Structure 1
Amino acid sequence: MAASMVFRPRNYSAEEKSHSLTRLRANDHPLSTSSSSSHLQVAVVDHGKKDFFDPLRSLDDNGAVSGEALQEVEISSSPGLSSEASVQNSAKEWTSFSRILMQKFPVSKMISVSSMSNAIIKGGKIYEKASTSTHLEELEDPQKFAEEGVKVITRHEYVSRLHELRDEIIRAWRASDRVTTLKLSIKVARLLMDTSVLQFYPTLFVLAMDIMDTVGNMVWERIKWKAEFAEDGNKLYSLPENFEASDICSDAKETCYNWFCKIGAIRELLPRIYLELAILPCWRFLLDRPEDSLQRLVMMTRGLADPLASAYCRLYMAHCMLKLPSCDKGYLVRCVNDIKSLLSWVMLRKEAADGNIIDNKRLLVSLMEPTIEFIMKCIFKDVSQKQVGNILVELELGRNAMELFGNFPCVSIVLHHLLKELPIEVVSSSAVGILHVIECSNDYSFDQCLNYRLLGFRLCETKSRTDILNAVADIVIQVVTQYDSLDEYLKVVEAFLDIILQNQMDNHLNATLEGISKRASSKGTTEDELGSLQSVMVKLLCHCENLEDIFALEHFLEILDVMYGSSRSTVNVHILNMATRSARICDPTTIQLLFEISQALHDDIDFLNVKDEDNQPARLISRFVCMVDYGTEMERHLTFLVECRGAFGSIRGLNETLIHSSNCLAVKALKNGSKNLSFVKSCIAFCEVTLPSISSHTRQLNLYLETAEVALLGGLVSHSDGLINSALGSLQNLDLMDGSLMQADVDGMLSSIQKLCGFLVLVPGNPEVGVTHFAKNILALFNSQSWMKPKMRTKIFSAIISLTATLSQNKLPYHGKVLGNDHLFFGDLSYSHELTLLAKCVLQNLVDAIQQEPSSAVRGRLALEACNCIATSFILTQEISSIYTRLLETAKSCSVPAQLLSVALARKEK
């Protein structure tokens, strides 16, 4: 039997030498600049694209890209918008503003209506005052609705009635019933006199303004049609975009004048103003300077007694002004000054006995705020630097255009929106003056801290002079020191922190962090304060380059300790991200701090329900564990790994990292000498305990093999044998048929088995269980799995045959630190006999597995691979030659290319 199967002797050193390519030293690196003119340089084909840039092309002497490689692209400035485009843009802004306005002030389901809302009362379903408290609970002021005669209507019915009125107006217009159109429009405008339910007023305003704009557009189109068409419908003239009053025929002018006369005859002031504003652009048909009519309208609005109705009327005026070709900004400034007067009156009004008067005032101010915001945007839209000074003087914030922002008080909420819209150049150059105005403008219309905060953010928009920033920071730090509230303190500090960090104001930074720590520690933190704290901490982390600089900051860790929840987790992620940028983490104190931070992050996140691709915290913690290095204190490092295993049990994949780290520690100890063998055993024991928790069978197998290699490197043969047995045992109950493994996992497991066969070349055979013990276990394991495909069986059987052939050599191709089988069993006939018997058995299994492959193409390819394995492993005796020929016939019958068959035949002849 032995004579019929003989292993081919191999001289691995001679084979390596004969197959190695001759090596020549290169004079230049292929990507270096000195080789750019060499004939070896690869030509870049850019197909004539002048802007093509190849990063591997050579650089010039200054390191700049050559002119041929990169062209400078000129960006032309976009032309200014035409007046028509500007109007369309303004319309879009108004639509967006209106939508936000309605969302900002939600209202209850039931709304009270007064006698002024007769258009709604007559058309809608009215509910008398409920006897129960059901409806009263939905009203904003139950005390008010306790009065007799008050009626309520649902919000939905109110809105529906307004839509009905709009449809009625359009129907009347299309029926040429101009009188009805005007009457219905007056009714809609009259609704805006009713401010009984404050929070509903913005919604009412938006809906009513939509109707006003619709009426204005219809009147405009009607007069424009009269100017361009004859009574019979023939077009006479096309008005240019910038037409003048002289271009309009007398009939169109008469119609236009008639509309203004009808509106001027309206008795109530508010409806009269609104309707004239709705047709404000129609003054263009009568006047070359239609904006001249605005002076009268601005004065008329001063006759409106209700501050809320008056403010929103001015808001609509600003909207209508944008429809004119040009407009003096002074009219808008007067609107703001008038609103300032209204706000001052509201805030100075004496309190009644009702204790809710302050809250009602604050609500009224908040409802008036959008009017200030929009008008301020209009004022500073496309304004020149020279105009800004004049505007500020008109807003009573300076003596002249050169002396701005002195000690001039301003209503706080007006100042806020002014500061938001000012050009950044003005803010930067006048920052100290603005601070004085903020200090003088301290009223409850707006939190003063928010104005300081806004100034800080505006100053971050550009590079300001250092002396100005230092002066501003000095003043602001003195101001916030007086704040007891952590929320107010953080709002200001967060805005100025970038300025403090970028200008290295260390004294202010220390004072700021001390102030945060003091207030947070004494009173705790709310959700809003946590958001600001998170922003402050992240800014500190982004500014500092090294983690040691962060931990060295006074009060940083104290502030971190008072944080919790998602804000704390976000800061912890940033800290770990910063820590893991370096190569190693060696300082024990830093390691302990990062371990505690990682543990807090782990406890705050449910890692089991987070997808791996989205699990940045888990990746950072694993990265941190990998980077820890205790140097010569290897026992402390192993203890650290044990602590990590207990602390981070929910993180998938971390145990793999721990096993890798433990094996690296063991190898590091072995390099320092055999005296650390007991420590190596501890590392291996750690791995053996941790390995069963690995869920992936393929990864578990690889880690078992990795640990077995480390054990063998340390001469721990029995440990290595046990780990190999455990590796095979982990696959004993594996069932691929349940669909738990993808094809990639199957391929990975096959690769691991082939790797195991390669590793077994180093493992000394055990005479007590047989030198082929592990190879037989592999064979038995995969022979017992009925689900295994022939392709995989063939590759495993080929790997076992190659293993037996290698072990039969008088000199193995590679050795470990322990004696190999070529030394232990040299000349032992029983050893060679055992290998031959195993090889014969496996060879028969190999041939059978190939014949079982259902795919003809795959079967032919497997037959050729088996021929290659046989040719390199055995001398072609008669028995082997018969098997070889049979496999070749199989390959040929499966239509394997003739070229591949000829190669296989050549191997047989050798």
Structure 2
Amino acid sequence: GRERRDATTTTRGERGVVERWMAKKRDVHERHSGRGTIQVSMAFEIISTKAKGSAGVEARLAELENTATGANAQTHRISQQEYVTRLHRLNEDIANAWLAEDRVNALKLCVKVAKLLGDTKVGKFYPVLFVLVTEVIETVGRLVYDRILRKSEESTSEGGTKALPEDFKASRVRTVAKNTCRNWFYKIATIRDIVPRIYMELALFKCYRFIQDEPPTVQIRRLMKMSRGVADPLAAAYVRMYIAKCALAYGCETEDSAMTLEILKEFMPSYVNVLDETADEDPATAYIFRLGLRRTEYSELMDPAMEWLIECCATNPNPSLLHKVLYMGGETPPVPFLRAVFRSLSPTVVRENALKLVALVGATSTDEDSLEHRDAMADCYRTLVDKFDVIAPNEGDRLAILGDVWRVVQKWTHVEPYLRVAERFLLYVIKYLAQGELETLMKDVARHVHAHLAQAKEREPTKSAELPAEAMRCVERALRVVTDQFRDVDYLVSLKWYVYLGEILGGEAKVKFSAALLKCGSSAGSISDPMCLHTLLEAARTVHDDIDGMSSEESRAEAESLVVDFINNVSFAGDFEAHLNFLVTARSAFANLDMAQEILVYHAISLMTSVYERVGVEHTNKTKAFVNACTAYCQITIPSVRGVNVRLQLFMLTAQAAIVHGLIQQVDGLIRSAVTDAQESGGETAVGGWIDLPTDRAGAEMLDFVRRCSALLVVQPGNLEKGAFLVFRGLMKVVEDFDWEPSSADEVRAYVSLIPMITAMAQETIPFKIDGLQSNDVLFAGEEAYVEEATELAHELIQRATDLAGNESSLADDDGEDDQAETTHKSRAREFARVNLELAEVIAMTCKPSPEMLALAAGVVDRARRLLPPDVVDPVAAYVHQLLDDASMDVDVDAPRARE
């Protein structure tokens, strides 16, 4: 229950440094991690891989000693991710070895790891390597601190121990703990190589608290002098970075940041020499060439160290400190130096010195600047504007900042750095300036893009000129910012520069821009302006064309949503022909999106309905031709929709819309197409067939189709040549051949639903009429063969329904193997019992009263009586008896009739 402080216990100042250090390490990982390979020595291979059949750390060290000769000379390559994984595992191995009392070997292995920072052959991976290695040595530093802290605990009179207070003095530390502490520093001092010796001592720096009360300033200065012996500029930069971090964390820094400034002052000559193209004789040049890097690339590897040093200085609000830092860069500081400075400055310091900092970047510009130089300048400008996004510049400086930057940038002929600056300053202009400045900025962007494309075309006339990929992405992001800002499609497409920049995009950039534009159009509501409609149609086409067989379901769903919203928002203000022409164009434009094809059919049906509302059945040649065209459009489009249930629904809706216009032949074709589709969509090979639906849903959808189709057949005239009931028989065949779920009563219900329809068709006058349409009651009036065929079909349907309902009801007598199975059987049987009641009611309503019909209906009711309560069955039985018990009848008992 005693309290104990360990290496994780820190002071407030130390915690602040730790937080900033963690942020810097994350930044280094993000900027310098990659997917390439790294050349590693055999020594690293040994220490980072567990030896077979060994005890771990000790065995690896022994193997390293045995192969010491030439171990560093032998090299091979591994992936960066593998390198990271091994170092993380090595960190765990060292900690486990320490906890297993193998402390000496753990320290030795840690020294070997620290030695990796003395070799910069890993090139662009070195900043990440620095982060990984310092994490390993800091682990050992914490373990050493904890061990000494435990030895420092005072004994109590009760025989226990008492922990040191947080602000303990060295005089309170037990002698044995002090000796242990000094012993660790002696061990570190014996390390021969300078780089691991410096890093290991810094890792143990917190332990100086056990042997002295004052901060380890003397030791920091000693290490600063030692760091001058590191010849490699890159390795030296990170040594100084770590020294500065420890100086700040352990109270060695003064209020005026004198120590960090001193470290920075020692750092700057090597940094400047790295950037100096004329310094071929400088020793640093050999290290640069050895890695095969350009000077600017090498300096970027040193940037994290430079930025940390400047950041440590920038915590001091004294304005003179910024002047001192900038002075170290010379009269015209190098742009990479300025970039490192700007990244490290706080937004407050940037705001107070905005115009001065902008001027420093501009002063480095010449007409002969290389692409690398302008890329670095672009980085500087982007960094500054990012700071302005956090804290707004002074109001009086805002326009001047843009003017000073653009006087330099607008002269650039390299389009990529130009667009990188323009993209970031676009947000600045929107946030802090007026619309006039936005127009000016984007017109200048369009001018630069046009000039670049014209030059590219002039160089290679046979090729299509386009922007580089990164420049394309900059334009796309800029256009999306503008789109999100205004949210007014009509206004945006009226801007010539906006339309032009959107048209020059290609690939993924164009898809992203098009999606953003469609979202904007969706939020705007109705789309009627021709220019706006054309632009959004092209955007929707782009989004559609990006979808293929390899696209994810999420991508397809998003594309469908955007395209469907666009189609729904299009308005032609009553110009039906223009609307239909749009639907024709859209059908071919969005052929790969099922939902779009479905919505297009709905819109065509809506046009037919709108014409009916306007003219009724009083058609002119023009309106008749138009509804004919709409019907043909639907009939052509529907087969391309995936999903048989959707197709059947669309066929029926189209037929219903067409029949009121008197389009008899077209309706006949639609119904036939639907029946054929329902028949041919069975089987496992059918595309978009019934097998794609869950079995229970497929049955429900088929039942719904049978009801809709049969109702339509009541008013639709039959075929005079092939028979009045040709299509009806086809529908019965569909019901017969469909693969119904055995446990479902849907098949019985399908037959039951057909009975009222066929009996209605046999009446002298059908129950409902459509104006101007001659149905079968007129076409086949007085024909006995017509009535006989209808009667025959009615009896056949009643027989099928009766047989199916009766067979299934017997399932109630089967006992299940367990309670759940028995419950399922009973539930299914009750469902069939309810269907029997439905069948009895239909028989009673549609057939002439007769003893035979009464007996049949009563028998069907009796099936249900065994399974359903009397309060459900008795009312139906009474209704059936009332309708069918007619002793005074004098007509054929077998002839079905329709009762209203």
Q: 1:849 aligns with which of 793, 804, 814?
A: 804
Q: 2:354 aligns with which of 404, 408, 431?
A: 431
- What are the superposed Cα offsets for residues 498-522 of structure 1, whole Å, 9 maximum, x if unpaired? 2222445333333333333333323
* SS of equivalent to 2:858: helix
User: Is the contact made by 2:837 and 2:860 (CA closer than 8 Å) also made in structure 1?
Assistant: yes
Task: Flag the structure with higher helix content.
Answer: 2
2:611 is the alignment partner of 1:669: yes
Aligned counterparts of 2:627 and 2:91: Cα–Cα separation in 1 = 88
2:350 is the alignment partner of 1:419: no
- What are the superposed Cα offsets for residues 836-883 of structure 1, whole Å, 9 maximum, x if unpaired? 444333222221221232553332121122123334434653222111
* SS of equivalent to 1:552: coil
- What are the superposed Cα offsets for residues 331-354 of structure 1, whole Å, 9 maximum, x if unpaired? 334434433343123334734389
Q: 2:778 aligns with which of 824, 834, 851?
A: 824
Q: 1:122 to 1:202 in 2, by over 3 A?
A: farther
- Following superposition, the deviation at residue 698 of structure 1 comes to 2.4
User: Is the contact made by 1:863 and 1:888 (CA closer than 8 Å) also made in structure 2?
Assistant: yes
Q: 1:861 aligns with which of 827, 834, 839?
A: 834
Q: 1:628 aligns with which of 557, 570, 575?
A: 570
Q: 1:629 to 1:813 in 2, by over 3 A?
A: farther
Aligned counterparts of 1:172 and 1:827: Cα–Cα separation in 2 = 104
524-533 or 817-826, larger mean C-alpha shift = 817-826
- What are the superposed Cα offsets for residues 128-183 of structure 1, whole Å, 9 maximum, x if unpaired? 9xxxxxxxxxxxxxxxxxxxxx94444679999999999899989998998x9999
Using the size of structure 2 for normalisation, the TM-score is 0.76
2:163 is the alignment partner of 1:241: no
User: Is the contact made by 1:737 and 1:787 (CA closer than 8 Å) also made in structure 2?
Assistant: no
- Following superposition, the deviation at residue 542 of structure 1 comes to 1.0
How many residue pairs match? The answer is 795
585-594 or 804-813, larger mean C-alpha shift = 804-813
Aligned counterparts of 1:871 and 1:82: Cα–Cα separation in 2 = 91
Aligned counterparts of 2:98 and 2:776: Cα–Cα separation in 1 = 109
Q: 1:823 to 1:216 in 2, by over 3 A?
A: closer
Q: 1:422 to 1:873 in 2, by over 3 A?
A: farther
Q: 1:888 aligns with which of 847, 858, 861?
A: 861
- Following superposition, the deviation at residue 453 of structure 1 comes to 0.9
Q: Which residue of 1 aligns with 2:468?
A: 526
2:749 is the alignment partner of 1:795: yes
Aligned counterparts of 2:829 and 2:879: Cα–Cα separation in 1 = 23
Q: In the TM superposition, what are the counterparts of 1:265-344 in structure 2 within 5 Å?
A: 273-293=198-218, 296-297=221-222, 299-300=224-225, 303-304=228-229, 306=231, 307-321=233-247, 324=250, 328=254, 330=257, 331-344=259-272
Amino acid at match of 1:320: C
Aligned counterparts of 1:430 and 1:390: Cα–Cα separation in 2 = 9
Q: 1:804 to 1:394 in 2, by over 3 A?
A: same
2:379 is the alignment partner of 1:450: yes
Q: 1:241 to 1:536 in 2, by over 3 A?
A: same
Aligned counterparts of 1:798 and 1:902: Cα–Cα separation in 2 = 21
User: Is the contact made by 1:281 and 1:323 (CA closer than 8 Å) also made in structure 2?
Assistant: no
Aligned counterparts of 2:747 and 2:88: Cα–Cα separation in 1 = 80
Q: 2:427 aligns with which of 495, 498, 501?
A: 498
Q: Which residue of 2 aligns with 1:56?
A: none
* SS of equivalent to 1:760: helix
Amino acid at match of 2:542: A
Unaligned ranges ≥5, structure 2: 1-9, 48-60, 457-465, 686-690, 812-827, 883-900
2:694 is the alignment partner of 1:742: yes
Aligned counterparts of 1:726 and 1:165: Cα–Cα separation in 2 = 71
Identity %: 23
- What are the superposed Cα offsets for residues 211-260 of structure 1, whole Å, 9 maximum, x if unpaired? 644554455345434432689x9765421222122322455445545665
User: Is the contact made by 2:170 and 2:210 (CA closer than 8 Å) also made in structure 1?
Assistant: yes
Aligned counterparts of 1:279 and 1:770: Cα–Cα separation in 2 = 101
* SS of equivalent to 2:167: coil
* SS of equivalent to 2:343: helix
Aligned counterparts of 2:109 and 2:532: Cα–Cα separation in 1 = 76
User: Is the contact made by 1:538 and 1:571 (CA closer than 8 Å) also made in structure 2?
Assistant: yes
Amino acid at match of 1:885: A
Amino acid at match of 2:716: V
- Following superposition, the deviation at residue 720 of structure 1 comes to 1.8
2:648 is the alignment partner of 1:684: no
Using the size of structure 1 for normalisation, the TM-score is 0.75
User: Is the contact made by 1:126 and 1:152 (CA closer than 8 Å) also made in structure 2?
Assistant: no
Q: Which residue of 1 aligns with 2:815?
A: none
Higher relative contact order structure (alpha carbons within 8 Å, sequence separation ≥ 6): 1
Aligned counterparts of 1:508 and 1:434: Cα–Cα separation in 2 = 22
Q: Which residue of 1 aligns with 2:492?
A: 550
Q: 1:486 to 1:813 in 2, by over 3 A?
A: farther
* SS of equivalent to 1:529: helix
Q: 2:298 aligns with which of 345, 349, 364?
A: 364
Q: 1:226 to 1:579 in 2, by over 3 A?
A: closer
Amino acid at match of 1:857: R
User: Is the contact made by 2:634 and 2:654 (CA closer than 8 Å) also made in structure 1?
Assistant: yes
442-451 or 796-805, larger mean C-alpha shift = 442-451
Q: 1:238 to 1:690 in 2, by over 3 A?
A: closer
Q: 1:882 to 1:81 in 2, by over 3 A?
A: farther
Aligned counterparts of 1:615 and 1:785: Cα–Cα separation in 2 = 31
User: Is the contact made by 1:248 and 1:285 (CA closer than 8 Å) also made in structure 2?
Assistant: yes
* SS of equivalent to 1:615: helix
Amino acid at match of 1:518: R
* SS of equivalent to 2:840: helix
Q: 1:717 to 1:153 in 2, by over 3 A?
A: closer
Aligned counterparts of 1:749 and 1:646: Cα–Cα separation in 2 = 30
Q: In the TM superposition, what are the counterparts of 1:692-771 in structure 2 within 5 Å?
A: 692-735=639-682, 739-743=691-695, 744-764=697-717
Q: In the TM superposition, what are the counterparts of 1:184-195 in structure 2 within 5 Å?
A: none
Q: Which residue of 2 aligns with 1:52?
A: none
- What are the superposed Cα offsets for residues 104-132 of structure 1, whole Å, 9 maximum, x if unpaired? 5966436599xxx999996546569xxxx
Q: Which residue of 1 aligns with 2:598?
A: 656
Q: 1:696 to 1:209 in 2, by over 3 A?
A: closer
- Following superposition, the deviation at residue 716 of structure 1 comes to 1.8
Q: 1:425 to 1:299 in 2, by over 3 A?
A: same
* SS of equivalent to 1:283: helix
- Following superposition, the deviation at residue 481 of structure 1 comes to 0.3
User: Is the contact made by 1:762 and 1:815 (CA closer than 8 Å) also made in structure 2?
Assistant: yes
Amino acid at match of 1:564: G
Amino acid at match of 1:731: A
Aligned counterparts of 1:454 and 1:431: Cα–Cα separation in 2 = 12
* SS of equivalent to 2:250: coil
- Following superposition, the deviation at residue 493 of structure 1 comes to 1.1
- Following superposition, the deviation at residue 737 of structure 1 comes to 7.0
Q: Which residue of 1 aligns with 2:400?
A: 471
What RMSD over aligned residues (CA atoms) do the two structures have, in Å?
4.7
- Following superposition, the deviation at residue 824 of structure 1 comes to 3.5
318-327 or 724-733, larger mean C-alpha shift = 318-327
616-625 or 306-315, larger mean C-alpha shift = 616-625
- Following superposition, the deviation at residue 489 of structure 1 comes to 0.9
User: Is the contact made by 1:583 and 1:627 (CA closer than 8 Å) also made in structure 2?
Assistant: yes
Unaligned ranges ≥5, structure 1: 1-79, 129-149, 400-404
User: Is the contact made by 2:362 and 2:408 (CA closer than 8 Å) also made in structure 1?
Assistant: no
- What are the superposed Cα offsets for residues 476-534 of structure 1, whole Å, 9 maximum, x if unpaired? 22222022111101111111112222445333333333333333323431122222222
User: Is the contact made by 2:841 and 2:880 (CA closer than 8 Å) also made in structure 1?
Assistant: no
* SS of equivalent to 2:317: helix
2:511 is the alignment partner of 1:511: no
- Following superposition, the deviation at residue 440 of structure 1 comes to 4.5
Aligned counterparts of 2:62 and 2:444: Cα–Cα separation in 1 = 58
- Following superposition, the deviation at residue 568 of structure 1 comes to 1.0
Q: Which residue of 2 aligns with 1:350?
A: 278
Q: Which residue of 2 aligns with 1:907?
A: 879
Aligned counterparts of 1:123 and 1:204: Cα–Cα separation in 2 = 26
Q: 1:168 to 1:682 in 2, by over 3 A?
A: closer
User: Is the contact made by 1:169 and 1:184 (CA closer than 8 Å) also made in structure 2?
Assistant: no
